[in-house]
Structure 1
Amino acid sequence: KVVLATTKDRQHRIYLGKGIYAEVTLRYVAKHYRCWEWTYPDYRTPEYIQTFEALRKLYHRQLLTQHRP
């Protein structure tokens, strides 16, 4: 998931405290990030999706490296 922090309350956002809400803006399904109907237009672009997918792969490789004996 890609989660954004915001100060604006909406029905799909979760209150974290101190006036901050969390919004799941992208979900990971079948090896790709997918948008929700409320996902901001800039996060829908191929450039953003590709960036988040590349970051996820990098993070996954780092986790695998850290857990090797």
Structure 2
Amino acid sequence: MNAQIENNFTYHPPKEDQPEKYTKIREKAKELALLIDQECPNSREKSLAMTKLEETVMWANASIARN
């Protein structure tokens, strides 16, 4: 069995300090999201920036959970 596939598609319950790490990442991303929302005109580009920021948080959290 492919260990990477097994790891990527398995539920990873939070370990000791992981929830705190998730919170820190979300808080910093929220700061940036608020700045983007304030400074950037409503546009496709702004929407993409917000989407990519959400993706960044998701992948950062996956990194913590999986490793």
Normalised by the shorter chain, which TM-score bucket?
A: 0.3 to 0.5
- Structure 1 or 2, whichever has the larger Rg, is 2
Is the strand fraction higher in 1 or 2?
1
TM-score by length of 1: 0.40
Is the helix fraction higher in 1 or 2?
2
TM-score by length of 2: 0.40
